[in-house]
């Protein structure tokens, strides 16, 4: 069992995220399993990022995103592409910062405590594998430095994947 080293949320954020990337690299090691690495990524972020109430993955499957490994309260299972913050980020293939969820049309409320949100797509050779979604109980919690840092974290996560270990995204594959 790995012990998580305490990562102080000291400024600047770039140093904070760099340390998280190093810790994630250590946690992943040689492991290439998608679910295992996604689970540890969510756990690491949940326990090191200050002021967050939900951290998790939604995995692309056909025209939907399906709930993957996460930390936080139980969440909605399926989100159509283009819907909510997650479906929008996946469809647009770029990171989405939602400073105030009540002002984001179509926001899907899973945890009523969430006030702001950031969604980072998992892009692999032009294919959207899914998204990383992080919620905060504070308004305006995420900025461009968080975006840059979390995109680096996702890059470390995606580098751990080999083609054989990527989820089968064909329609219905994960249901069979
Ligand atoms: N708020 C997200 C749904 C997922 S939960 O926040 C965990 C959305 O609008 O897509």
Q: Which domains does the chain have, with CATH numbers?
A: 13-163 (3.30.450.40)
Task: Give the mutation target among 74, 77, 79 for probing the ligand 1 site: most ligand atoms within 8 A of CB.
Answer: 79
Q: What is the pLDDT along the chain (176 residues), one digit of tens a residue?
A: 566 666 666 668 999 999 999 999 999 999 999 999 999 999 999 999 999 999 999 999 999 999 999 999 999 999 999 999 999 999 999 999 999 999 999 999 999 999 999 999 999 888 999 999 999 999 999 999 999 999 999 999 999 887 556 676 655 555 54
Phi, psi of 55 (to 5 degrees): -140, 125
Q: What is the 3-state secondary structure (H, E, C) of 27-78?
A: HHCCCCCHHHHHHHHHHHHHHHCCCCCEEEEEEEECCEEEEEEEEECCCCCE
Query: How many of the other CB atoms lie within 10 Å of CB of 139?
Result: 12
Rounded distance, CA 107 to CA 84, Å? 4
**Cα-to-centroid distance, 54 and ligand 1 (Å):** 9
**pLDDT the model gives residue 12:** 83
Q: What is the pLDDT of residue 108?
A: 95
Which token pair is 130? 């899914």
Whether the model pTM is above 0.85 = yes
Q: Whose CA is nearest to atom 2 of ligand 1?
A: 108
Between the CA of 52 and the centroid of ligand 1 the distance, in Å, is: 13
Say what the pLDDT of residue 176 is. 42
């Amino acid at each position: 069992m790995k012990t998580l080293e305490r990562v102080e949320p000291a400024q600047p954020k770039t140093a904070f995220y760099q340390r998280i990337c190093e810790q994630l690299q250590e946690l992943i090691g040689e492991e290439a399993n998608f679910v295992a690495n996604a689970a540890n990524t969510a756990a690491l972020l949940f326990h090191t990022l200050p002021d967050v109430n939900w951290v998790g993955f939604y995995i692309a499957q056909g025209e939907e995103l399906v709930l993957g490994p996460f930390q936080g309260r139980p969440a909605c299972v399926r989100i159509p592409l283009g819907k909510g913050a997650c479906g929008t980020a996946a469809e647009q293939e770029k990171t989405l910062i939602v400073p105030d969820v009540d002002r984001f049309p179509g926001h899907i409320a899973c945890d009523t405590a969430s006030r702001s949100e950031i969604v980072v797509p998992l892009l692999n050779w032009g294919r959207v594998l899914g998204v990383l979604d992080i919620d905060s109980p504070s308004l305006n919690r995420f900025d461009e430095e968080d975006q840059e840092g979390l995109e680096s974290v996702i890059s470390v996560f995606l580098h751990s994947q080999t083609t054989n270990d990527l989820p089968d995204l064909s329609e219905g594959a994960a249901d069979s």
